[in-house]
Chain A
Amino acid sequence: SQQGEEDPQALSIQEGENATMNCSYKTSINNLQWYRQNSGRGLVHLILIRSNEREKHSGRLRVTLDTSKKSSSLLITASRAADTASYFCATDAVDSWGKLQFGAGTQVVVTP
């Protein structure tokens, strides 16, 4: 079973708009990570947020983590066509040392 579940499954926006996607998970975690996958490529690490952190920024990315609700969100501000990709959350669960569990992903399309 998947630990992380992303929402929405798909998102279509125009350049310049913000894109927000959410991830819910089931068990206690050490950290939560977001990855991007361009079509036909491997996954690229975007950002990691630890269980004792509530918000983290990296460039145009903003990640929040609410451990009481077991949820995280990824915000991409001022989207560009190059942001078109699938985005996955992955959890490093407390009882699964070393193993990352991925959600099914959010497919984001940014149109010029």
Chain B
Amino acid sequence: NAGVTQTPKFQVLKTGQSMTLQCAQDMNHEYMSWYRQDPGMGLRLIHYSVGAGITDQGEVPNGYNVSRSTTEDFPLRLLSAAPSQTSVYFCASRALAAPSSYNEQFFGPGTRLTVL
């Protein structure tokens, strides 16, 4: 198993540009999520999905879009990049078990994004 993979590893954008961060997992996990990590702030949840076709907002969703057309993939789109979106982005996945999950979350290696 490759686990959770993210591409690209590094990206530099100019203000106003758009791009998509890719995330894929091969563990058949229902739950996938995107976090951003800024110095001294820990990880903040951007968007998450509990299955194909279902997405919801996290703590800091503004400026980002997501979709979940398959179980495996959960891309994050930056619509119009801003310097405030300079950060390290992590994708994560985990299995779900009702009524709540006791399962560990698996993280990708991260994408380091700089917006000039």
Interface of A with B (CB < 8 Å)?
A: 2, 4, 30-31, 33, 35, 40-45, 48, 50, 88, 90, 92, 94, 97-105
Contact = CB atoms under 8 A, between A and B. Distances in A.
Contacts of A103: 42
Interface string B73-116: 00000000000000000101000100111101111111000000
Contacts of A105: 42
Q: In the complex, which range does the number of interface residues on chain B fall in?
A: 20 to 34
Interface of B: 4, 31, 33, 35, 40-45, 48, 50, 58-59, 90, 92, 96, 99-102, 104-110
A48 B104 contact: yes
Contacts of A102: 35, 42-44
Contacts, number: 65
Given A33-B105, A48-B104, A99-B45, 15 more contacts: A4-B42, A42-B4, A42-B110, A43-B90, A44-B107, A50-B102, A88-B43, A97-B99, A97-B100, A98-B50, A100-B33, A100-B45, A102-B35, A103-B42, A104-B42
B31 A42 contact: no
B11 to A, nearest CB: 15
A2 B45 CA distance: 10
B105 A100 contact: yes
Given A88-B43, A92-B100, A99-B33, A41 B106 contact: no
Given A2-B42, A104-B40, A42 B105 contact: no
